[in-house]
Structure 1
Amino acid sequence: MELNSIKPADGAKHAKRRVGRGIGSGLGKTAGRGHKGQKSRSGGYHKVGFEGGQMPLQRRLPKRGFKSQTIKFNAEITLSTLDRLGLPEIDLLALKSAGLVGDLIRVVKVVKSGEITKAVKLTGIGATAGAKAAIEAAGGSVA
């Protein structure tokens, strides 16, 4: 087999339908569009959701709800989770590698839930006032 002898399988390719090219083609005169009406005219069709002038469904229904995109990239982590992690220095990369936050997370904040006994140093991670006080009381720091 050579590159110049490759051809598609039988029936895989078929000729394009040439409309409006005489009666012999079977699609002459009206070119398969029928007689009269909006769909037969050139440029005459409607946009998606158009209901002939009636108020479309997407405009009849009330607008409801909102999903914040910022939730996708922010995460919270508790003091007890930090305690279980057992690392002396914790940053965003360490939390991602431990599987505690997702790969898309950009901002992490420590909240005061549970207790922390080990001294940890947080870098690039935020903390609430209560969580910061608890970390510093255990001998750690928040940078």
Structure 2
Amino acid sequence: MQLNTIKPAAGAKHAKRRVGRGIGSGLGKTAGRGHKGQKSRAGGFHKVGFEGGQMPLQRRLPKRGFKSQNKPFVAEINLSDLQKLAGEEIDLLTLKAVGLVSELVKTVKVIQSGAISRKVTLKGVGATAGAKAAIEAAGGSVA
């Protein structure tokens, strides 16, 4: 293959629709815009959501609560992260001091990812069922 022989796939390119080019084209006279009205005229478009003066949908519906998808105050750590930490007792302050979680984090949860073979005691740190079982199997506890 060479650069001067490259072609688009068959049917990938097609001629642009040319409107207002006479009666024979099928899109002459009104050029597919129909008759009269704001949308038929040049520059005759209105803002998104405009319903011709009727109360628009976004204003008809009641405003309800908001739940952020971005949760900066909750963090997850792996079992393998716990394995690397020095010390037996682990709490939120310890994790912040080591730099495993951000200073803004308010709650931490340990998830079952990786393995742990040493005894650790979690205080004020949550754990999933699988992570809790792994910690207890290694001789540790989740308080």
TM-score (norm 1): 0.54
CA contact 1:86–1:118 (8 Å) conserved in 2: no
1:86 corresponding residue in structure 2: 86
CA distance in 2, matches of 1:80, 1:86: 12
CA contact 1:111–1:130 (8 Å) conserved in 2: yes
Long gaps (5+) in structure 1: 1-53
Deviation at 1:68, TM superposition (A): 1.7
TM-score (norm 2): 0.54
1:104 corresponding residue in structure 2: 104
CA RMSD of aligned residues (A): 2.3
Long gaps (5+) in structure 2: 1-45, 51-57, 59-66
Deviation at 1:86, TM superposition (A): 2.3
CA distance in 1, matches of 2:74, 2:88: 23
- Which runs of 4 or more aligned residues in structure 1 lie more than 4 Å from their structure 2 counterparts after TM superposition? none
1:114 corresponding residue in structure 2: 114
Q: Structure 1 vs Structure 2: percent identity of aligned residues?
A: 55
CA distance in 1, matches of 2:133, 2:68: 33
CA distance in 2, matches of 1:119, 1:136: 8
CA distance in 2, matches of 1:125, 1:94: 11
1:129 aligns with 2:122: no
Residues 68-122 of structure 1 show CA distances to partners (whole Å, capped at 9, x for unaligned) of: 24x1110000001000012200000000000000000001000001110110000
2:69 corresponding residue in structure 1: 68
> What number of residue pairs does the alignment pair up?
84
> Aligned to 2:72, what secondary structure does the other structure show?
helix
CA distance in 1, matches of 2:109, 2:87: 17
